[in-house]
Copies of this chain bind each other. A is one copy, B any other.
Amino acid sequence: MPIDSEIRGGVLLVTNNDPATRNAIGLDAFDGLAAAVAQANDRPDIGAVVITGAGGFFCSGGDINGLRQRVGADDAGRREGIDKLHAMIRILRECPKPVIAAIEGGAAGAGVSLALACDLIIAARDAYFSVAYVKIGLTPDGGATAFLSQSLPRQLVAELCLTGNRVGVDRFHHFGVVNQLTEPGEALPAALQAASGLSHGPARAITRIKELTHLGQTNSLEEQLDCEAGRMSASLADAEAREGTSAFLEKRPPDFTKLRGS
């Protein structure tokens, strides 16, 4: 099983570890990634998740031999891999902790979907994204066209998906999709540092904020105002707000970690 996971401080680090295939992902990896990330759901000692790939590459996407077998399969056979991939994407979205992608080398095909499903993306400046499906006669899955369409002009989404060309992550940083560029080899340390920072924040407020960033993709202003109001009221009733406002008024740093799981 090529998915490794470990807990470092308050951070769950999930590593796709199959460098021989540049961390291609098939049915087993979809299940493995979903299970690994789901560990964060109920553990108050985990404040954030980092997903990375071993061997200097994030993820080369669907395993081509596996895809080749599904070409010509019946509908159930063709759907199985898609369904497992989409289930994994939902796990990332529904994870109550922020998920950070740490990207070296590149991401292609479903690897782009995996990266874009994350809440934050930190990438080495020489890495690239390639929505490569069209090059082998296929069409994007894993939410790639959802995530791209919610973030970028349709013309740019069309360019990425119709050509499948490699596009440097610096261009995605220019458009705000990649949060931070690092020197090559530094994406994982930077992601762990960002995750550690988040793990010291107010955990329940952070979960609510993650929810709002997802809800805001399709909500109207009125709907989102309602979502914000409900969560703000919950935050104001939470010990985290008592600690946060007290610390502010007392001019001291807040200590939210003592409130985990409370």
Contact = CB atoms under 8 A, between A and B. Distances in A.
Interface of A: 64-65, 67-68, 70-73, 75, 78-79, 82-83, 86, 89, 93, 98, 118-121, 133-159, 161-163, 175-179, 197-198, 201-202, 205-206, 208-210, 212-221, 224-225, 227-229, 231-238, 240-249, 254, 256
Given A137-B243, A237-B78, A176 B153 contact: yes
Contacts of A137: 202, 205, 235, 238, 240-245, 254, 256
Contacts of A148: 216
Given A143-B221, A150-B216, A205 B64 contact: no
Counting every copy of the chain, the complex holds 3
Contacts of A220: 146, 217-218
Contact of A221 (B136, B146, B197): B146
A142 B228 contact: yes
B236 A136 contact: no
Given A162-B198, A232-B139, A242 B179 contact: no
Say what secondary structure dominates the interface of chain A: helix
B235 A155 contact: no
A236 B136 CA distance: 10
Nearest to A220: B218
Contact of A212 (B65, B161, B236): B161
18 contacts: A73-B236, A75-B237, A79-B233, A119-B154, A119-B162, A120-B155, A121-B155, A139-B235, A146-B221, A151-B152, A151-B155, A152-B176, A153-B175, A155-B177, A158-B210, A158-B213, A217-B221, A218-B220
Contacts of A216: 145-146, 148-150, 154, 157
Given A137-B205, A137-B241, 16 more contacts: A64-B249, A68-B245, A71-B245, A72-B236, A73-B236, A75-B233, A83-B229, A119-B154, A138-B205, A139-B205, A139-B212, A139-B228, A139-B231, A146-B219, A162-B201, A162-B209
Contacts of A83: 229
B228 A145 contact: yes
A236 B67 CA distance: 8
Contacts of A143: 221, 224-225, 228
Nearest to A48: B162
A201 B148 CA distance: 21
